[in-house]
Amino acid sequence: MAGVAQGAMKTARPATGAPAGSDAVLQRELAYYENLYSTYGPGLFAQPGVVLFREYLARRILRATGAGAESRVLSIGCGIGDTELLLAPHVAHVTGIDLSPAAIAEARRAASARRVTNVQFVAGTWQTAALGEEPFDAVVAIFFLHHLPDKDLAAFPIQLMRLLRPGGVFYALDPSARRLSGFLGQLLVPKLMEKYQTEDERQLLPHSTAAPFRAAGFRTATRWFDFASTPLAGLFPSWAAGYRLARALDEALTRVPLLRELSSNFELIARR
């Protein structure tokens, strides 16, 4: 069930500028998300349970990165900008980049409707779109790293160095390979899982995901994020009370030794 939420609610894109052999993967991902963001995606993300998830996530990002009124933030794979628009009132500027033109069009529409002026949404590859920018204080990637093949994941922290100022912080949220919710989802609702996932997605282990960041010179930490709250928001997006209850339960479960190893998602915080 974690996979349901990840597929339905993530705003992530695989790394672009990847080797030519990855072109087919990029095209599959782009086709999936163009369809998502031009059809049912925006309506799904506007549901109360999903909004609560995004609000909680934005608060967590701000605490983890220390981003504040003078901070410039880059969001890789911003999707329709729902998290970025929540971050914007608390920072100096947010740049969101996404491969999907449909997602960027919706993000710009939402920013205009809310009269948020300190955001910029860019369609294209994150490597080329970020060139020429001053280094950022924080870089955010929500459900992004798990799209990267091993070779690209190993190279990503080195590429990240040029985007972050010294002392800057990278924040990622990704699905865990040992997640209990994923096993239950495949067992109980396999067709729903397939609907909300692309064929190229995978899950990650916190320690091995953090390893290339440490090798590149980052100081890293990983934390368990949830068991049920994010998957529940994907399965029952209109059930706000259910999300609140599940989130409260997750606060306790993610602190239990051994049991927390079965969490749905984990955070990676890497400081340059």
In this prediction, residue 217 carries a pLDDT of: 97
Whether this model's pTM surpasses 0.85: yes
Q: How far apart are CA 54 and CA 40, in angstroms?
A: 18
Distance CA 257, CA 268 (A): 18
pLDDT of residue 210: 98
From the list 132, 155, 196, 172, the residue with the least C-alpha distance to 15 is 155
Candidates 101, 201, 187; CA nearest to 143 is: 201
Please count the other Cβ atoms lying within 10 Å of the Cβ belonging to residue 4: 24
Indicate the burial class of 251 (C-beta count within 10 angstroms; 0-12, 13-18, 19 or more).
exposed
The candidate with the shortest Cα–Cα distance to 7, out of 201, 179, 153, 183, is 201
Residue 248 CA to residue 229 CA, distance in Å, equals 9
Q: Which residue has the tokens 């605490």?
A: 63
Residue identified by tokens 């087919």 is: 24
Q: Where are the alpha helices (DSSP H) in the chain?
A: 2-9, 23-38, 41-45, 48-65, 82-87, 101-114, 126-129, 150-161, 180-188, 190-195, 206-215, 229-235, 240-253
Please tell me the distance from the alpha carbon of residue 208 to that of residue 222, in angstroms, as a whole number: 11
The pLDDT value given to residue 241: 98
R_g of the chain computed on alpha carbons: 17
- Which pLDDT belongs to residue 3? 38
* Residue 254, token pair as written in the block: 């993610």
Q: Write the CATH number of the domain with boundaries 2-271.
A: 3.40.50.150
Q: Take residue 79 and report the two structure tokens written for it.
A: 């999707």
DSSP string over 80-115: TSHHHHHHGGGSSEEEEEES-HHHHHHHHHHHHHHT
Task: Please tell me the predicted confidence (pLDDT) of residue 23.
Answer: 75
Q: Tokens 């409260």 map to which residue?
A: 248
Segments making up each domain of the chain, as ranges: 2-271
* pLDDT beneath 70: ranges in the chain: 1-22, 128-133, 185-199
